[in-house]
Amino acid sequence: MDEFAWAPEMELGNPALDEAHKALFAEMMRLYTAPDSELAEGLPQLCDKLERDFREEEDLMEALDRPDVKEHREQHARVLSALHHVEVGEPAEAREALMLLPQWFQQHLATMDRALAADLHQAGQSRQKRGGYATL
């Protein structure tokens, strides 16, 4: 897991998204290195946090009328489904899922979420030009 660390390249230029993603990534890493005794409680809590973050992203995408909202939502759903099927009483299975999650997360940030951040930036610029509020 040494290759997985938050890096400035993972930031999207949207403070709210970056803060949320950085906190999620830190929780993934913390839980991965936590003692086995914390996994049974920690993994469902991580799932809850991911569900909230994903729902907020999807709401933003709908507000922006993004054409890829369905694909983005499906990626979120697949990850959550996989995590919900992990036997939390089996530390090896939980750790395997926690090892794969940062890989997916980094790829998702670099592609799907980067496109969302660009649209949020564009929407903010458009609102500023019209004298409106710059964030959704």
- Provide the number of structural domains found in the chain: 1
Q: 40 lies in a domain?
A: yes
Q: What is the pLDDT of residues 25-77, one digit of tens each?
A: 999 999 999 999 999 999 999 999 999 999 999 999 999 999 999 999 999 99
The predicted model scores a pTM of 0.84
Residue 82's nearest CA partner among 72, 96, 66, 92 is: 96
Model pLDDT, residue 31: 93
Domain that holds residue 18: 14-129
CB atoms under 10 Å from CB of 118, counted, come to 13
Q: 48 lies in a domain?
A: yes
The predicted model gives 112-131 an average pLDDT of: 74
Q: 43 lies in a domain?
A: yes
By residue count, the chain amounts to 136
Query: CB-based contacts of 73: which residues, under 8 Å, 6+ apart?
Result: 54, 58
Q: 5 lies in a domain?
A: no
Q: 7 lies in a domain?
A: no
Q: 26 lies in a domain?
A: yes
